[in-house]
Amino acid sequence: MLAFLTGVVLAYQGGSQLSQYGANIFIVDLVGITLLRELAPLLTAIIVAGRSGAAYTAQIGTMRVTDEIDALRTLGIAPMELLVLPKLLALIILMPLLSAFADIVGILGGMLIANFSFGVSVTDFLDRLPEAVSLTNYLVGIGKAPVFAAIIALVGCYQGFQVSGGADSVGKQVTVSVVHAIFLVIVVDALFSILFNWLGIGLINAH
């Protein structure tokens, strides 16, 4: 829903400006590049940080409070291997899939608005999309997803292990986990933008 509405907003805001110059077809470029390259992976990461990152912290934090982690160590089971590694691998696999799904739904939202509000037919939109959005732009967006996933999983698990005392500490660390994960994801996304620009993987060069 978030991806769909983002596509709708981009098409509305961009289309209202482009239509003044008779450049309605460039709504496809705006929606396609912005969503696939930047917004879809970023918004997906923020939602996942609020859901899965918080859940990781709460689960591990609760196990800390109830001394289950100490029990695992007593049994000779490494908590990192049992609790952290599966979460990390699962999120790294899942995030690119979620990001790709967000791409599709966001493009659909933009396409509907372009069709009904700005006279860009579905056929014209789909014909223009491969020209407007190169494979490089798509891969840049998808390539960010595993990195964001690793950040969210590691921050979530780390904050879970920082829980100490009673149940109130779990709530505190969950809050810290979500804030830190979202902050780091945005910082890393900004660093990616700088890196890609430095390497020449820009919007123009990508074509």
Q: What pTM, to 2 d.p., does this model score?
A: 0.89
Tokens of 4: 């769909």
Q: What is the pLDDT of residue 202?
A: 58
Which value, to the nearest 10 degrees, does the dihedral of the CA atoms of residues 59, 64, 68, 74 take?
Answer: 130
Predicted confidence at residue 166, as pLDDT, reads 79
Cα→Cα distances 173→91, 106, 150, 166, 180, Å: 20, 33, 18, 12, 10
Based on the number of CB atoms within 10 Å of its own CB, is 129 exposed (0-12), middle (13-18) or buried (19 or more)?
Answer: middle
Please tell me the predicted confidence (pLDDT) of residue 110. 94
Encode burial over 152-184: b for 16+ CB neighbours within 10 A, e otherwise.
Answer: bbbbbbbbbbbbeeeeeebeebbeebbebbbeb
Cα 85 to Cα 105: distance, rounded to the nearest angstrom: 30
Supply the pLDDT for residue 142: 94
Residue with tokens 């196990």: 63
Q: What is the pLDDT of residue 45?
A: 96
Mean pLDDT by 10 residues, the chain (207 residues): 93 89 89 92 95 95 90 88 93 96 95 91 92 88 95 96 87 95 96 87 51
